Every structure is written in C-alpha cells, then in structure tokens.
Amino acid sequence: MQLLRRSIRFCLTLFVALSTGSTQATDHGVLNRLLEEIEKIPMVDTHSHVPLPGSDTEILKDPNFHYDVSWLLGSTTYAGEFLYGKDWPDTKKMLEINAQHAYYRPIRQALVDLYGLNPEAELTDGNVKTISERMDAKRRDATWYGEVYRRARVQHVITIEEHPDSLSHIHLPDTRIFPMWNVDFEIVYVATPVNDKEQKTTGFRHRIEQTEKHFGVRLHSLTDMETLIDREITRFFERGGVGLKSTSAYFRPLNFDTKVPRLVAQEVFAEVAARKIPSADRRRHLEDYLMTRVLKKLNQLKKPIQFHTGNQQSWNLVANSNPLELNKLLYDGQFSDVKFVIMHGGYPYTQEAITMVRYFPNAYLDLAWMALFSPAAAKTALADAIDMLDGRQLMFGTDSANLEEVLAEKVEGGFLTEQVALQIARRILYSNALELYGLASPQAANPTNSVLLRP
C-alpha cells in the first residue's frame, strides 16, 4: 500500500487515506525497500480540516440523513465544486465529466481502501448503493474515526481550534489532537465591515462587537486591543496551543507593512471602537499594525504561524496568495524568532516559495494539499525542495505527492543512498513537524489522548 493510502484527506466529512497512483520508478527493488520502511514511520497531520469526533452527532440523529456517495462528493471541500449533485443520477453525470479530477481520485482510492470498492472499478449503478451503505454504517460507528487514523499511522493532528480545553473530551487510542488558532477575524480584521448575511446570522453590525463578546471585554482603545493580543496569545500557548494561523491571502495581499505609526493605528481603531467604518486604506493600516503586533508576540514566545499561500479557489485574486509577499517580513529583522510556515507549497508560486524559504532558517515549507491541485506539480516541488532546503525546513502535510517515488528516483540516480533517503523521509513525515510545533513537549501534550504509535 502506497504511502498516501495512509494519509488523511482534508474534507468536511470523510477521513480519507490517499494515493496518487502507480509509481514511475524503474528499479522496483529500491522502491519496494523504501516503501516498506516508510510505511513504518508515523505521521503528523499539520493542517487538518477533518471535523472533530462527535461534530456530526446531530445530523446523524436525523432519520432521513444517509452518508452516501452523493452527499460525500457534493459536500467534500473543493471536490463539491466539480462533483455536485443532489442524488446519484446527478453525481454520475458529473463523474462523466470530472472523474479524472485530482480532487476526486484520492476520494475514489479511499472508497477502495475503506469501503471495499474494487481497485479496478469506478463508481457505477451496480456498486454505488453497496458502497454508500457501507459508508453510512461506518460513519455511525464510534470507533471508526480513530480506526482510520490508526490505519494511516497519523500520530499527531493539528486542527483549527482556539480553545484547547474543547479538545479535552476527545479520546483516541493512537492519535493526539492539538489546537491551532486562526487569528484573522478575532484580531487582525476587527475593522472589516460585517456583510448583510453575517448581520442576519450573528446579529452584530460591527465585527468589533463579535471580538468583544468572544473575549468578554470592552475595547475602548488601541491599548486595550494590544493588551488583549498579548494576553490571549500567551494564554493560548499556555493551555496547549501549538501555533497560530492566518488566511489573510483570501482577503488581501500578504505585503504587511510593519512600519505603520502607532498614532495612525490609534486613530483608525478609535473609529472602529466608535462603531464607524474606516475607509479601505485606513483599515489596511490597522490590519498591518495588528498583524505586526501578533508577530512581535510570537517572536517573544518563539512560536510558529502558518500563512495560507497559493490556491485561492473562488475567494480572491490569485496574486494575493503569492508567498513572496512574506519576504519582507522574513527580511525585516524584527521576527527572527517567529517560525513562518509557508502552506501549500505556495502553489502556483512553488519555485519562488522554495527559493525564499531556502534563505531563512526560520521559514518552513509545507506541501499539504499540493497533490490535490496537481500531483505532477507536487512531485516536482518535493524533489526540488529536498535538493534545495535545509533538512529541517520541509514538511509533507498528509496529502502530497508520493514521497517513496521521489526518493526512489534520487537513489536510482545515485544522488542519495537508501540510508539518507530514509533519514529524509522520517524528517519530512514526522520529526520536522514534531520539533517545529513542540508536539513532544509536556506543555503540548494532551493527557486525555493516551497511547501513541511508536516509531
């Protein structure tokens, strides 16, 4: 079984073991030896969007709900854009168009690995009902969540969750779950206007009202906001948080200005506190100032932050996600102890991302999701990153191109010995993330998730 068959697909509902197809290596002896050893290495899921155990309890109580193929493909993150359908006839029509899509092929492999789809078959009228019934039965099995992680040998999972205490009820036999906090809307984008849909949903007319309710405070001034940032980030890590995250690239370019005068930020925040809406330019000044404050706190604590780069889907301009916009922050000199994690390989700016990371020891490249954009590009990026980066700077995410394939080609070409190839594999899959996020430290350990896989 290839490496990615034991990786977890980041989707809304299914814990999916990935595979990106057959190997191109010519020396199957080298490939098989590497694969056998790589299969023994535990993994760290550095970027999980898989719902936490118990998050679907209410929907499963609905007697009319069935976790079937059409529901999965229509609801899965991104795959739903290409495989939407209200029922199997609709889904089948979309599969006639998009069965080749990189978002779908790993899901099909999961149906093979987890639910018994014939490895040589596609979904058809003849097998979809059986597969759907198996999916629904497993989804209602309380042990299935942990079982899929066990099969995938995913030992540590980092998930978006601001409140570490909310993970205390999760008990998995072989996997620990750690929280990461996306600071965008509670902190950095406090001046962003609330749209009509959000107003109807939340009842808030201004985003600062959400922030105040969220933290149980009243923010009268920029000083209040600075105090909140310092206090809440410190508390987050004290309670077991392992990193912060920013998805700013969905909303704006990543060219944060670290030189915004405090007086300017103070004036803009005064407008926000008075429930006024500053101009777009003035909001940008405040965003820059608040992100700088977040990074200064991270620098003091020597902690990591993941920046979404690359893939934009339909949310924003592709150029906003260019990781080179972060070059100024890395070069600035104020943040040498912040650990910057460039997510998704920066795709399609992958070469730029690799080159930038190469020059900064506090920068890291995570290839998570790249294989879902393009397996071919992910393989090339992995090969180049192995050649160019410090051995501590590269992480695989759990859904990227076949590591064993890339390493086998380097061994065959005489570039690596098998011993060095396996050293690299262990660092990329496991050790680098363990060290970066401090997952082995007592502070980060979640005592309620007990037994771990042993390497």
Query: How distant, in Å, are the alpha carbons of 189, 228, 277, 289, 370 from that of 283?
Result: 8, 19, 8, 10, 32
| Exposure string for 194-206, b = 16+ CB within 10 A, e = fewer | beeeeeeeeeeeb
pTM of structure: 0.89
Does residue 34 sit in helix, strand or coil?
A: helix
Residue 85's CB is within 10 A of a number of other CB atoms, namely: 18
Geometric angle at alpha carbon 246, from 240 and 250, rounded to 5° = 150
| Exposure string for 171-191, b = 16+ CB within 10 A, e = fewer | ebebbbbbbbbbbbebbbbbb
CB 360 within 8 A of CB 339: no
Residue 415's CB is within 10 A of a number of other CB atoms, namely: 14
CB 157 within 8 A of CB 176: yes
Cα atoms found within 13 Å of the Cα of residue 142, Cβ hemisphere only: 6
CB 109 within 8 A of CB 17: yes
Can you list the positions of beta strands (E) in 285-352?
304-307, 339-342
Geometric angle at alpha carbon 371, from 370 and 376, rounded to 5° = 105
Low-confidence ranges of the chain (pLDDT < 70): 1-27, 313-315, 397-402, 441-455
Element (H, E) at 366: strand 363-366
Gap between the Cα atoms of 434 and 304, Å rounded: 12
Gap between the Cα atoms of 3 and 344, Å rounded: 19
User: Which distant-in-sequence residues (6+ apart) come within 8 Å of 154 by Cβ?
Assistant: 6, 7, 8, 42, 43, 44, 45, 175, 398
pLDDT of residue 5: 39
Gap between the Cα atoms of 156 and 122, Å rounded: 32
Query: What does residue 176 show for φ and ψ, rounded to 5 degrees?
Result: -110, 145
Q: Going edge to edge, which strands form the sheet with 243-246? A: 43-48, 154-160, 176-182, 243-246, 304-307, 339-342, 363-366, 394-395
User: Which distant-in-sequence residues (6+ apart) come within 8 Å of 85 by Cβ?
Assistant: 70, 73, 74, 91, 92, 93, 94
pLDDT of residue 392: 96
